[in-house]
Structure 1
Amino acid sequence: MAPTLVFLLLLGLCWNTVSEGPPSSTRGSDVPEFELPTMNYDTKDSYKPGSIGVLFQIVHTFLHVVQPNAFPEDILRKIIQKKFDLSTDYEKPENVVLTLKIIHYEIGIIICAVLGLLFVILMPLVGFCFGLCRCCNKCGGEMHQRQKKNGTFLRKCFAVSLLVICIFISIGIICGFVANHHLRTQVEKTRTLADSNFRDLRTLLNETPSQISYVLDQYTLIKEKAFSDLDNIKSLLGGGIHEQLRPKVIPVLVDIKTMAEAIKETKEALLNVNNTLEELKKSTAQLNSSLSDIKTNLEQSLNDPQCSVPSMTATCNDIRKTLDHLDDNTSVDQLPSLHMQLDNVNDVLRTDLSSLVQKGNKSFNDIPEMVQNQTTDMVSDIKSTLNSIGSDIKNINEQISIQDNLSIFMDPINSVETYIHQKLPTLEEYDSYRWLASLVVCCLLSLIVIFYYLGLLCGVFGYDRHATPTRRGCVSNTGGIFLMAGVGVSFLFCWILMTIVVLTFVVGGNVEKLVCEPYQNKKLFQILDTPYLLNENWKYYLSGMVFNKPDINLTFEQVYSDCKENKGIYATLKLENHYNFSEHLNILEHTGNINSSFENMNVRIDNIVLLDAAGRKNLLDFSSSGVDQIDYEAYLAEIAKPPTKVNLLSFADELERKASQLPPGSLKQSLTSNAQTIRTLYHDQVMPLRQLMGSLYRRIQSLQHKSTGLGEKVANIITSLDSAQDFITNRISSVIVQESKKYGNMILGYFERYLQWVKISITEQIAACKPVATALDSAVDVFLCSYIIEPMNLFWFGIGKATIFLLPAIIFAVKLAKYYRRMDSEDVYDDVETVPMKNMQKGHIGFHRHQTTQAL
């Protein structure tokens, strides 16, 4: 009852909670993550009865068999609407019809109750008549046992039947003991259950304001993150614009810088080639001079008179023929000089192209700084807007006075808790009386069944089949007495037991079918949600009570289900119909102003020149310097030739060989000396000349490689430069707009993310009303149904079953007692007359020795 009252009181929270924010559209990078502190509740979500639940389920099945009719929703609606009142006019047709419907619904319970009442009324009468009858030696009261041929079979059948019935009675008694103990145990847990629910409700009331304050305080993190990004606009916005332009600008600047380096390298290469060429020309001229001298010396030597001698004439003529080979093989002196190209490149280098590239690169890299300088006022305005939002958020908690409004519910909760704590001792005291009475009931039944068990035990083990009915043993006779004692106690108390069973059955069965089951399947809530039921002027009673707007579709079932799912009270009670948090905060208006500031942001970047006119002229002059027009093939072809027409070493060896064929003399000595001179000339001049020609060949190849396609390269650079410059001049505004929108969305994304989190927190987490549903479940489902009704139903089920089985037990016990008790007389049979004769002498039986048969 107390949790129910608290549930109704907590509905007032609707007047002091916050509304949901707008949905999130974008999310900025590096958005802070929020997590609402969770509330920890003590009360468990569900109740599990444990192993005794199997017995409860058996009772539920029995009740379903007895009462299979569907929940009488129409009947209850009419009763609640007071359309059924027998005190005014019970003969009204609608009252008669409704009465018949009630009887039809309760027919199973009514029949069982009537049968129980008949049992209560008839059992004492039957017992009284049975006692009188036996006192008159009727109804088995005569201490004489008729002898039957199937007596042994009947005795065993009666014993087994009574044993089975006693087992059933014992099961019922055990159920009674278990139910009695379980009910007492659960009542003892009531205080703990109530305290747990009240703690949870206080936690809900106390923590809700702190949760709301926490949500509002998280705006500080958002503002700090936004301030950080605004202060870092140089790298975020300016850097974004810079990064968008990089693919267009940087490759061009790199190409120009590379070309500037190529100009310097070309100048060095030209200089090296030209110097090497001049040196080569000098070396070639010197070689020609030396070869001429050697050729002159050889001609003078061949004019020696010895060459006139016939034997040496042929040798001299052979030598004279080879003198034409002593000559230069190249025309290096005819190769043109590279002074003109070198002068043109030097003229190009008078303009420092690298510094011009650095200047253009610097102006490009200054874009972030330019953006920061031009957005100072805008950043200041946005910060002011954010500060004003912060001020509104700081004031909102004071405006709605959450703590003050929630504190009014603490007194009712404390009052209800005090009331419950005052009544719990009384409940526990009454429960102790109930427990004692139930224990007495169970003990009475136990006493009866113990009598039966003892009777069976003594009767079975003390029975002697050879003993006559009048001579049965003491143990057997005691068994029969125990059985009759059980019968007597049964007649004395069974009607009292059945009275208790009927009363608890009617109460427990109806509460189970009319309260517990419809509460679990929510049909009770559906009845309460019937339009115009609780108030004929309100379609929806709950919305009329909470908002005074009965047309809002707010139902008890929906509220209970949402609370069961631990949803926030704001969404559960549809509080947007009463209090809208966004209207007080106006955060959408502020974010709209921020968005407008970004959209109207005016950033101009129109003074970036990647390469000025001097730089362009420098590139064009280099392309027309003539470096790429040099006839490199002619140079390479000429330089690739050997320096002399003949291999001087081979020539010297041949000259020396031929000289060796001459007789000693001045001619031979002169030729040998010239051969040695030729060898020296080869080592001193030809070999260095060859190395110089190889070096020049490689340098010309390198120069050729550098100058190949020079005009095309420069033209491509100029084209790329014009394209990049045109992009910066004409299309940078679109890049600025794009990056500004992206930057603005990032800033606004923080607030939209915050609002999304606020929405989720308000609707799903803040003031999550699960303790209210748990309190209601604790009051109805746990305390009333699980703690009280289910064990009470199990009690009447077990005791009722045991009491019902007392009836056949009485019959079988009376029948069986005849076979165990010692009789006053017995039957004897005469074989001639075959007529039983009764010896009425007490304690003595006469026999016809040869004609008497004793039946077992």
Structure 2
Amino acid sequence: MALVLGFLLLLELCWDTSALGLLSSTEGSDVLEFELPATNYETKDTYKAGPIGVLFQMVHVFLGVVQPNAFPEDILRKILQKKFDFSTEYEKPENVVLTLKIIYYEIGIIICAVLGLLFIFLMPLVGFCFGVCRCCNKCGGEMHQRQKKNGTFLRKYFTITLLVICIFISVGIIYGFVANHHLRTQIEKTRKLADSNFKDLRTLLNGTPAQINYVLSQYAATKKKAFSDLDNIKSLLGGGIHEQLRPKVMPVLDNIKAMAEAIKETKEALVNLNNTLKELKESTSRLNTSLSDVRRNVEQSLGDPMCAVPPVATTCNNIRVSLGQLDDNTDLGQLPSLDQQIDNINDVLRTDLSSLVQEGYKSFNDIPEMVQNQTTNIISDIKRTLNSVGSDIENIGQQIPIQDKLSNFMGYINDTETYIHRNLPTLEEYDSYRWLGGLVVCCVLTLVVVFYYLGLMCGTCGYDRHATPTRRGCVSNTGGVFLMVGVGVSFLFCWVLMTIVVLTFVVGGNVEKLVCEPYQNRRLFQILDTPYLLNENWKYYLSGMVFNNPDINLTFEQVYSDCKENKGIYTTLKLENSYNISERLNIQEHAENINNEFQNLNVSVGNIVLLDEAGRRNLMDFNSSGVDAIDYNVYLAEMGKAPTKVNLLSFANDLEAKADHLPQGSLKQSLKSNAQALRTIHRDQVVPLEQSMSTTHQSVRELQHKSGGLGTKVVHVISSLDSAQDFLKTRISSVIVEESKKYGNTVIGYFERYLQWVKVSITEQIAACKPVATALDSAVDVFLCSYIIDPMNLFWFGIGKATIFLLPAIIFAVKLAKYYRRMDSEDVYDDMENGNIGFHRHHSTQTV
């Protein structure tokens, strides 16, 4: 019944819903990501029995030994097809064969049940005969114990054996108590289990309409992202074109700009060098004049008569010879003028090359703006197309046939829950009676084994090996009485206990083997999926119920497996046979519609001129200005020379030293005065001239470095310019097409990704039916098998074990009682005259 109820729930849900789960979308910088968060359910999809599961497994092993036959699929199929009827036509051959198959399958259980029935019928009969026999002083009823040589051994053997048997009985009783309590505990959890399953089903159903609307409403986020890209076509498409052209164009413009700066810098350097050369020429001219004046003054001083005197004459001659060193060391006047090159560059600079380059920059950087201006109308058309796609998606949401039927299914769930809650108190009440009955059964067995334990304890503790059978103590006698009471109670109740064991064994064992095990290994579903089984006109019963088309391959096993894996209802029930979402949500058709609009996107950026003819001519004029033909080595050679042939300070010091060796007079004073004049010339003219020449030398080197290879650079710039201009002329259209396609694919990709996600979500993820499979598992595997059948089987296993062991316990208790009870008579041994030993019976005067 639970299995049928579970499948009815599954069928109703499948018939009524194609529900969607909750959606979460996050918008990234480039792409849209959609995520479907998992719904949390209360009911666990697995059940663990805990430590008692070991005992349940032990019972399963026992049942496997008793019933090792494979699951009788053929028998059940014929029974379900009503091809076997016990009431009519029993003698038909096929019915006979089927009956034999049933007997063969149930042979283990039948044998055990027959043995149990023999126990039930024979034990009362044996007990009655035993009691009558005892009353007639037979069967050990005579209160006399024969003395035997091995009596001590037999007493110990019977004691130990009965103790071991009592332990086995006690273990069985414990199993009974545990199973009885566990079953009661699990029944108490039934209400919570049912509430949890119904809550999960409501969670699945109540969230479905809102989830569908939410998923479809996410089109707004997709459209928003697409509209944002369309509004930013200037930066996305225009910027993309610009970035594709940048590596080819920008280096050329940067080189032209650098060349314009180089022309200006070269002109400034030439002008500064030319002016510096003029200043240096004037400075060297003044230096020559000053040195000539000093040389003439010294020569006039050397005309003094004292120079004729021999000692002085030598000094004067030396001075006169050294005067040739007082002269200019440079020839700056012979350096060529730079006026012509400067004039040429000035002619070049009449054309503002920098402004022409800026126009090239502006023409190139205006590409994004031109793209935006040319695509205004096309963008509006694309937006209209995207809005129409949104309308189609909204219509799909309205066409999914679930809203009207969900309320009916919710009512069905409410009715089922009401029915369960109304009958649960009755179940709990009956279970309380069952629990009390089980407790009574366990207590009866406990009473029996307690009598045996008391008999063993009193008999063992009160036994006196020196006492004769007629003189045994009260404690020992009480132990024997307890043993016999246990035997009597065993005969009274063991057949009742065995009756309970047989009934629960037949029911529990068959349910375990025919329902629980095949449900767990899904063999039961395979039987239900047999073509034409449940309905002789339908090949597949489930598809006949769902689609009214029994030829669709929809099976119970497949539906259960998919729900167990938490797949969506759409895929699980193959709802494409009634509502094909792929046809209604044609991704390719929508993508083609949008793509057709983008194909009308015709962008033209016009004729981009990086540098016009004036700028090109300007570069050529600079190349022919002669700057790179200047012989800078000549200038460097002159600037590297010292201004004078001799160091004036050394010359002045030497002149003054020679004057110090002359006698006092006008000659000496005149020479010292000229020496001081040389020092002044060195300080005021030579030192500044040296600094200017050094600075000019460095400027010439820098100018040489800057102007070196200018012609080659100009040629390279012009060549790069021609290459870039040719690239723009021949390749810009293909770049525009490529970037337009990439831009269109990006926008279309948003919708393709969204529509594909919607399709996948509806077909595979949304409305995951795991709560349905969990509810079915809860009804069959948990409630029926784990809550009821497993404890029931453990109960009959334990009680049956204890009851069976009562039989040897009776035998050994009866035999052992003879050694504990006080006898009415005993054997007395006498010595005979001929040496033989004899005995005679001695009657005790005590009353037993």
Q: Shorter-chain TM-score: which interval?
A: over 0.9
How does 1:618-629 map onto structure 2 within 5 Å? 618-629=618-629
> Does the CA-based 8 Å contact 1:17-1:579 persist in structure 2?
no
Q: For residue 583 of structure 1, report the CA deviation from its aligned partner.
A: 3.1
The Cα of 1:622 is off from its aligned counterpart by 1.4
Q: After superposing the two structures, state which structure 1 stretch, 415-424 or 163-172, moved more.
A: 415-424
Kept after mapping to 2: 8 A contact 1:28/1:749: no
CA RMSD across the alignment: 2.4
Contact preservation (8 Å) 2:31, 2:750: yes
**Maintained 8 Å contact 1:451/1:486:** yes
What SS is found at the alignment partner of 2:699? helix
Q: Residue 175 of structure 1: CA displacement?
A: 1.2
The corresponding residue for 1:852 is: none
The aligned runs of 1:192-203 (5 Å cut-off) are 192-203=192-203
Displacement after TM superposition at 1:687 (Å): 2.2
1:427 aligns with 2:427: yes
Whether contact under 8 Å (1:19, 1:582) holds in the other structure is no
Q: Do 2:197 and 2:774's aligned partners in 1 also have CA atoms closer than 8 Å?
A: yes
Partner residue in 1 for 2:182: 182
Which of 810, 829, 838 pairs up with 1:835? 838
How far is the alpha carbon of 1:338 from its aligned partner? Answer: 0.5
* Matched position secondary structure for 1:435: helix
Alpha-carbon spacing, 1:118–1:201, altered in 2? closer, same or farther (3 Å): same
Q: Which moved more, 1:267-276 or 1:545-554?
A: 545-554
Q: 1:706 corresponds to which residue?
A: 706
Aligned match of 1:848: none
Contact preservation (8 Å) 2:470, 2:844: no
The answer to whether the 8 Å contact 2:587/2:755 transfers is no
Q: Report the alpha carbon displacement of residue 313 of structure 1 after superposing the two structures with TM.
A: 4.5
Give the corresponding residue for 1:679.
679
Matched with 1:330 is: 330
State the TM-score, normalizing by the size of structure 1.
0.94
Q: SS of the counterpart of 1:141?
A: coil
Does the 8 Å CA contact 1:169/1:803 hold for their aligned counterparts? yes
Give the deviation of 1:661 after TM superposition. Answer: 4.7
CA distance in 1, matches of 2:389, 2:751: 11
Local SS of the residue matching 2:625: coil
Once residues 797 and 786 of structure 1 are traced to their aligned partners in structure 2, the CA distance between those partners, rounded to angstroms, is 16
Distance in structure 1 (CA, Å) of the matches to 2:636 and 2:643: 14
Q: How does 1:209-608 map to 2 (within 5 A)?
A: 209-308=209-308, 312-608=312-608
CA distance in 1, matches of 2:201, 2:338: 101
Contact 2:585/2:759, CA 8 A, preserved across alignment: no
| Aligned-pair CA distance for 1:585 | 4.1
| 8 Å Cα contact 1:124-1:491 kept in structure 2 | yes
Of stretches 739-748 and 99-108 in structure 1, the one that deviates more from structure 2 is 739-748
Question: How many equivalent pairs are there?
Answer: 840
Aligned to 1:100: 100
Please tell me whether the aligned partners of residues 81 and 534 of structure 2 are also in contact (alpha carbons under 8 angstroms). yes
Partner of 1:54: 54
Distance in 1 separating the partners of 2:444 and 2:678? 151
Percentage identity across paired residues of the two chains? 78
Query: Aligned partners of 1:248, 1:392: CA distance in 2, in Å?
Result: 45
CA distance in structure 2 between the partners assigned to 1:186 and 1:619 by the alignment = 99
* Partners of 1:266 and 1:701 in 2: CA distance: 12
Q: Is the 8 A contact 1:19 1:576 kept in 2?
A: no
Q: Name the TM-score, length of structure 2 as normaliser.
A: 0.94
SS of equivalent residue, structure 2 residue 826: strand
- Counterpart residue type for residue 835 of structure 1: G
Q: Tell which deviates more after alignment, 233-242 or 323-332.
A: 323-332
For 2:713 and 2:74, locate their aligned partners in 1 and report how far apart those are by CA, in whole Å: 96
Matches within 5 A, 1:757-772: 757-772=757-772
Residue aligned with 2:456, SS: helix
Q: Distance in 2 between matches of 1:745 and 1:633?
A: 63
Gap change, CA 1:3 and 1:839, over 3 Å in 2:
closer
Residue type of the alignment partner of 1:347:
D
Q: Give the corresponding residue for 1:811.
A: 811
The offset of 1:304, in angstroms, is 4.5
- The one-letter code matched in structure 1 to 2:418 is T
What is the identity, as a one-letter code, of the residue corresponding to 1:635?
Answer: Y
Task: Report the AA paired with residue 818 of structure 2.
Answer: K
* Residues 550-559 or 751-760, more deviating: 751-760
Aligned partners of 1:2 and 1:420 also within 8 Å: no
SS in structure 1 of the partner of residue 768 of structure 2? coil
Question: Separation in 2 of the partners of 1:380 and 1:13?
Answer: 45
Cα deviation digits, residues 184-228 of structure 1 (max 9, x gap): 221222222112111111111111222222211211111111111
2-structure distance, mates of 1:673, 1:183:
138
Deviates more, 1:355-364 or 1:772-781: 355-364
Superposed counterparts of 1:77-96, under 5 Å: 77-96=77-96
Pairing 1:783–2:783 present:
yes
Alpha-carbon offset, residue 764 of structure 1: 4.1
- Paired AA for residue 579 in structure 1: Y
SS in 1 for 2:88: helix
Would the alpha carbon gap of residues 423 and 656 (structure 1) be closer, same or farther in structure 2, given more than 3 Å must change?
A: closer
Partner Cα distance (1:663, 1:185) in 2: 145
CA contact (8 A) 1:238 1:371 kept: yes
Amino acid at match of 1:838: R
Amino acid at match of 1:495: W
Q: Deviations 1:309-338 (Å, cap 9, x if unpaired)?
A: 555544444433333333322211111110
- Paired residues of 1:559 and 1:573 also in contact (CA < 8 A): yes
The SS at the match of 1:835 is: strand
- Displacement of 1:629: 0.7
Answer whether contact 1:563 1:773 (CA < 8 A) is retained.
Answer: yes
Which position in structure 1 is the counterpart of 2:23? none
Do the aligned residues in 1 keep the contact of 2:328 with 2:643 (CA within 8 Å)? Answer: yes
CA shift in 2, pair 1:680/1:187, >3 Å:
closer
CA distance 1:779–1:6, change in 2 (3 Å): closer
Letter matched to residue 384 of structure 1: R
Give the distance between the partners of 2:847 and 2:707, measured in 1 at CA: 156
- Deviation by residue 1:595-652 (Cα, 9 ceiling, x = unmatched): 2333442111232211111111111111211111111011111222222223333333
Kept in 2, the 8 Å contact 1:361–1:610? The answer is: yes
Distance in 1 separating the partners of 2:19 and 2:268 = 78
- The letter of the residue matching 2:560 is Y
Shift of the 844–302 alpha-carbon distance from structure 1 to 2, 3 Å rule, reads closer
Aligned residue runs from structure 1 range 631-710, under 5 A: 631-710=631-710
Q: Which amino acid aligns with 1:375?
A: T
Task: Say which is worse superposed, 549-558 or 160-169, in terms of deviation.
Answer: 549-558
Q: Could you tell me whether the CA contact under 8 Å between 2:587 and 2:756 is conserved in 1?
A: no
CA distance in 2, matches of 1:15, 1:232: 47
Contact 1:464 1:472 in 2 (8 A): yes
Displacement of 1:468? 1.8
Shift of the 172–664 alpha-carbon distance from structure 1 to 2, 3 Å rule, reads closer
Structure 1 616/533 Cα, relative in aligned 2: closer, same or farther at 3 Å? same
Per the TM alignment, residue 815 of structure 1 is displaced from its structure 2 partner at its CA by: 0.8
CA distance in 2, matches of 1:494, 1:230: 90
In structure 2, the CA distance between the partners of 1:700 and 1:350, relative to structure 1 (3 Å rule), is: same
Deviation of 1:519 (Å): 0.6
Give me the whole-angstrom Cα distance separating, in 1, the residues matched to 2:542 and 2:63.
Answer: 33
Residue equivalent to 1:34? 34
